[in-house]
Amino acid sequence: MKESPLVSPTYGGVAIDMMGSDLGPEELFDGVRLALKNFSDITPFILVGDGDLLSSLLSKYHLEQHPKLSVFHASQVIEMDDKPIQSLKQKKDASMIRALELIQARAASAVLSCGNTGSLMAGSTLKLRPIPGIERPAMASIIPSSEGYFILADVGANPQSSPMHLAHNALLATVYCQKVLQIASPRVGLLTIGTEEGKGNELIQKAHEKLKQLSAIIHYVGLIEGFHLFSDHVDVVICDGFTGNVLLKSMESLASYLKAFAKKEFLRNPLRAFGALCSRGAFEAIKTKLSSERYGAAPLLGLNGTVFKAHGSSNAKVISYAIHMASEVSRIGIQNDEAELICRAKALLK
């Protein structure tokens, strides 16, 4: 098994990097099983990683003959602290890289990885290439808000964005929003501090000019501030990857802190606990709304192929949704629309 890759006849589905999770391949495997159970119409998966280990997991759960599962052996693993470019050079047989190569070879239609973001970004760019006109992919997260959801992009793919990168991100996120949230003309805002012209920093000022040039092809509503985020002001929030990543993680941190604090307070005495019991429907509704499980994975937009990144610490449930989402997005297909919009933008952007 170590010599020649194990290739099954079941192709065209989601290639899953089984080795990149902080919680280990077993948790990912539980996610795979959950996805098979919950989403009957899902595409097949190719499990990429240590062949012996994956085969033993398949046999443990009597899944060796499952028509939607196959294994592709990869002997190496990219670790979280590996340097992106170096990891690509030194670990050619890493599960993440092999998964990307399956798209390249048209043997898979999408990749899902929980691994090193930098390596996934560099590897995807190298193996799949950005769509024409795009320099760097962007990562987009779907976040719950008062009237539904909004898309935040970029959430970490490109921490040193240029104004042109931000303009491209607006185009890519518009397509993603149209396809996934099914909003025909998504309202796009550029996140800054102080919405008066000339405020913010140089990046924002220049990106704002570029976004105004795109108003014929996207619905750019202008500069927005942090307090606009959850008030249904826009459907797409554009920022650089540094700000977006800090924001996303801080908001998750705030939400879980509030949850823990509320739990402690509601259980502080029997009367409060009784009250909480009466109101448990409200708690369930809040929990469902805030759950990042459903949208726990984010795509790398702007590539010739569907690549999803999930948190390193994603549990089986999150993974099952992530697999489903990667499967759905690759089925819908967003690359042609992305390419078309980027092409139309070319004439508008000075």
Residues found near its own copies in the complex (CB under 8 A): 80-81, 83, 117-118, 145-146, 156, 159-160, 191-194, 196, 198-202, 204, 225-231, 239, 241-243, 245-258, 260-262, 265-266, 268-269, 271-282, 285-286, 289-290
Report the interhelical angle of 163-176 vs 335-346 (nearest 10°).
Answer: 140
- Which distant-in-sequence residues (6+ apart) come within 8 Å of 60 by Cβ? none
CA distances (Å), origin 161, targets 106, 242, 249, 274, 309: 31, 9, 19, 51, 19
Tokens 């996120």 appear where?
173
Tokens of 307: 């690549």
* Nearest distance in Å: CB 80, its own copies: 7
* Nearest distance in Å: CB 326, its own copies: 23
Could you tell me where the beta strands, DSSP code E, fall in the chain?
Answer: 13-17, 45-49, 69-73, 108-113, 138-145, 148-153, 187-191, 219-224, 236-238, 297-301, 306-310
Nearer to its own copies, 216 or 267 (CB): 267
Nearer to its own copies, 38 or 279 (CB): 279
Nearer to its own copies, 86 or 185 (CB): 86
* Nearest distance in Å: CB 148, its own copies: 12
Neighbours of 135 (CB within 10 A): 13
The C-alpha atoms of residue 166 and residue 127 are separated, in whole angstroms, by 23
* Nearest distance in Å: CB 55, its own copies: 32
Q: Answer yes or no: are the C-beta atoms of 111 and 103 closer than 8 Å.
A: yes
> What is the per-residue burial (b if ≥16 Cβ within 10 Å, else e) of 266-305?
eeeeeeeeeebeeeeeeeeeeeeeeebebbbbbbbbbbbb
Three-state DSSP class for residue 118:
helix
* Nearest distance in Å: CB 27, its own copies: 19
* Nearest distance in Å: CB 248, its own copies: 7
Q: What is the 8-class DSSP label of residue 44?
A: P
The full DSSP string for 183-203 is -SS-EEEEE-SS-STT-S-HH
Neighbours of 61 (CB within 10 A): 13
* Nearest distance in Å: CB 274, its own copies: 6
Nearer to its own copies, 200 or 305 (CB): 200
Nearer to its own copies, 292 or 327 (CB): 292
Neighbours of 216 (CB within 10 A): 10
* Nearest distance in Å: CB 68, its own copies: 34
Nearer to its own copies, 146 or 215 (CB): 146
Nearer to its own copies, 192 or 314 (CB): 192
The C-alpha atoms of residue 96 and residue 84 are separated, in whole angstroms, by 12
Nearer to its own copies, 5 or 159 (CB): 159
* Nearest distance in Å: CB 4, its own copies: 34
Nearer to its own copies, 178 or 243 (CB): 243
